[in-house]
Structure 1
Amino acid sequence: MSTLYAAYEDSLFVVADADGDPTLRSHRFDSRPESVAVAGGAVLVGTFEHGLRRSSDAGKSWTRADGIEQDAVTALAVAPNDPNTVYAGTEPSRVYRSTDGGRTFERLDGLTDLPSSSEWSFPPRPDTHHVRWIEPDPNDPNLLHVAVEAGAQVRGHLSDGGVRWEDRVPGSRLDVHSIATHPEAQNRAWVAAGDGYAETTDGGNSWQHPDAGLEHTYCWSVAVGLPESTDSPQVLLTAASGANAAHRRGKAYLYRREGNVWERLDDRGIPTGEGTYRAVLERGAGESTFWAANNHGLYRTRDGGDSWDRVGVTLPDRVHDQCCRGLVVVD
């Protein structure tokens, strides 16, 4: 049984038994949710103005996590092999770590000491920048992939003494929105960025940019499966022609790559194109199962994107004018 946690611009929607007989709960927030995570039995929501909110009673009550100095919590991630270890990113760009399931946090110092930090700037608010994504490596518990919007993708090497930050390497994207890894794919990572798609096979030492067939290069979300039926990863990617088409005008598309060429997935049961904001993607329990959330609702595919079913819950009408901010699936 899968439970979905989908953060939109004013609410967190929780769908229990999403692949069976789904039920919907909603939690309205006074400040825009920017990120969502589930750590053990607790739900964490990063908001833009009111810090990190935590609920351990299925949303009946919310408390603010301690130790995060910034009000805007823009990224959340749970360590793949330790549900008590949670990472949070903020605006301005800081990274924090919790070892108690998101109750309290300590800052991992040094991120803004990197040489490229003088070039970091978020275009809508050019005097600041933020951590857009944190991806703990599932095969190396001491490695973090971190995206700063906009300006850098960097790596954090954890140790008992703290963290050593490594600045962007040649070939890495500058406007990264999401990063995917896979527990069965050592040293690999996949990136969706405003300045294009990228992937690595050596843990981030170098990056490649296969784009044959990719007609839209403003990329927002990426998810990866490794089905036994194919020799290549199934890479799903949401993309548009630019930020306006992705977030405000609504003309976003869904792509898949198995092998060397991208294929656009139109008319597969999930809305794309005119009137559709960029979707947020998440890998499911099966290697060809993926979930997606956009302004039209919540969707699932069990065949790697060939066909999509809408999850049987109805989101409020106001969601049709909102972008999904984060999606977590707990199986």
Structure 2
Amino acid sequence: MALTTLYATTGDDVVLLRETTRGWTVEPLLRGVGAQCLAVDPGDGHHLAVGTFDEGVFLSEDGGRSWRRAERLPATRVLSVAISPAWRVAGHGVLFAGCEPSALYWSEDGGRHWHEASALRQLPSAPTWSFPPRPWTSHVRAIALSPHDPGLVLVGIEFGGVLRSTDGGMTWADQRPGCYLDCHALLLHPAMPELVFEAAGGGVARSEDAGNSWQAVDEGLDHRYVWAVASPPDDPTTWFVSAAPGPREAHGPGPHRGAMPNREGTAQARIYRRQGTNPWEPIAGYPDPLPSMPYALVVPMSEPQVVYAGFRNGSLWRGIELGHTWQELPVRVDSILTLVAPPA
């Protein structure tokens, strides 16, 4: 088995989780910025982007050894970031930032200058977008970019559904038919880019036409508050999601900054696997139900048979053989909101 490297955001910090021949190490890379989300350039693993709760975007060009803030980004609350594998300028992927209140910006020069996808906020459904804990606002929770088509951009609004652009964000198609409105995550599969999965409050939806239309694929799910989604990068027939009975179990009551408050042990969560056209099945091999919410799932390109789960309580689990055998790893941070594996 390959030695693993993962980036994680904790709600405050960015940390590097690294497996060595002597065990696992935890290295803080960026402290105290309210780190919510992270993206790695698929074409250059040294280029990182981090979205924060109130400090905008931070960027690194050396794998997290040094950072600079994207001073000209008009928004400060950034809950999703993505770097395009297909839209490249001067050797680097174009950077997207999804914000609260709901807005989408992109940068073609590493975050030095920004353009707003202003047509997004003019969509007919925009006045109805509302995030339940802060109902006066909403945010771009998820961004999915095509590995082959530089113009294809999908965004998920929490709470407002999946929106689609085919021209790099200049124009938008409003809420796509069949999608769930409470979008938490989107994954466009790298080996079959017309196939997209949405993890949402309400269940899981699948698109077979690059996000233009959606169908619910909930058979087998006994928990419908779905948060994270992952798939082996070489196998579009296998998918994983994490889910809890509802938002209170997953996150706990009340407003949140960074990692959401929760009484530890109350999540009642599960991780599910779907293979082919079979129903979702709860994965065995760990405490059932899980006491803490799996906020993050990832299958690294270097380990396509291994799924990693990062939890709200800061623990990290590894499921080998596509999640058939699980072990808790000797890693503990404050919380794990996102996990990202660098390109192989």
TM-score between the two structures when normalised by the length of structure 2: 0.85
The answer to whether the 8 A contact 1:199-1:209 is kept is yes
SS at match of 1:115: coil
**Deviation for aligned residue 1:280:** 0.8
Aligned-pair identity in percent equals 34
Q: Which runs of 5+ in 1 are unaligned?
A: none
1:168 to 169, 175, 179: 175
Partner of 2:217: 210
Partner of 1:233: 237
Distance in structure 1 (CA, Å) of the matches to 2:193 and 2:58? 33
**Are the structure 2 counterparts of residues 103 and 4 from structure 1 closer, same or farther at C-alpha, using a change threshold of 3 Å?**
farther
Deviations 1:232-272 (A, max 9, x none): 71110100110011112422110001122111013x24x55
SS at match of 1:16: strand
Distance in structure 2 (CA, Å) of the matches to 1:97 and 1:30? 25
Partner of 1:250: 267
Distance in structure 1 (CA, Å) of the matches to 2:137 and 2:193? 34
1:14 to 13, 16, 26: 16
Where does 1:257-276 land on structure 2 (aligned, <5 Å)?
257-258=274-275, 259-266=277-284, 268-269=285-286, 271-276=287-292
**Are the structure 2 counterparts of residues 227 and 94 from structure 1 closer, same or farther at C-alpha, using a change threshold of 3 Å?**
closer
Where does 1:98-137 land on structure 2 (aligned, <5 Å)?
98-137=107-146
Partner of 1:72: 77
Where does 1:292-307 land on structure 2 (aligned, <5 Å)?
292-294=309-311, 295-307=313-325
**Deviation for aligned residue 1:226:** 6.4
Deviations 1:149-203 (A, max 9, x none): 11121012225xx611110122111011001122221311011001211001122
The answer to whether the 8 A contact 2:180-2:205 is kept is yes
Partner of 1:290: 307
Which amino acid in structure 2 is aligned with residue 49 of structure 1? D
SS at match of 1:44: strand
Partner of 2:25: 23
Distance in structure 1 (CA, Å) of the matches to 2:158 and 2:143? 12
**Deviation for aligned residue 1:307:** 1.2
Aligned pair 1:328/2:328, yes or no? no
Partner of 1:52: 57
The answer to whether the 8 A contact 1:6-1:325 is kept is yes
Distance in structure 2 (CA, Å) of the matches to 1:163 and 1:204? 17
1:183 to 144, 168, 190: 190
Distance in structure 2 (CA, Å) of the matches to 1:278 and 1:202? 28
Partner of 2:93: 84
Partner of 2:167: 158
Partner of 2:326: 308
Distance in structure 1 (CA, Å) of the matches to 2:328 and 2:109? 36
Aligned-residue CA RMSD in angstroms?
Answer: 2.3
SS at match of 1:9: coil
**Deviation for aligned residue 1:106:** 2.1
Distance in structure 1 (CA, Å) of the matches to 2:157 and 2:231? 22
TM-score between the two structures when normalised by the length of structure 1: 0.88
**Deviation for aligned residue 1:50:** 1.0
Distance in structure 1 (CA, Å) of the matches to 2:279 and 2:4? 31
The answer to whether the 8 A contact 2:82-2:95 is kept is yes
Partner of 2:256: none
SS at match of 2:211: coil
Which amino acid in structure 1 is aligned with residue 326 of structure 2? W
**Are the structure 2 counterparts of residues 215 and 329 from structure 1 closer, same or farther at C-alpha, using a change threshold of 3 Å?**
same
Partner of 2:150: 141
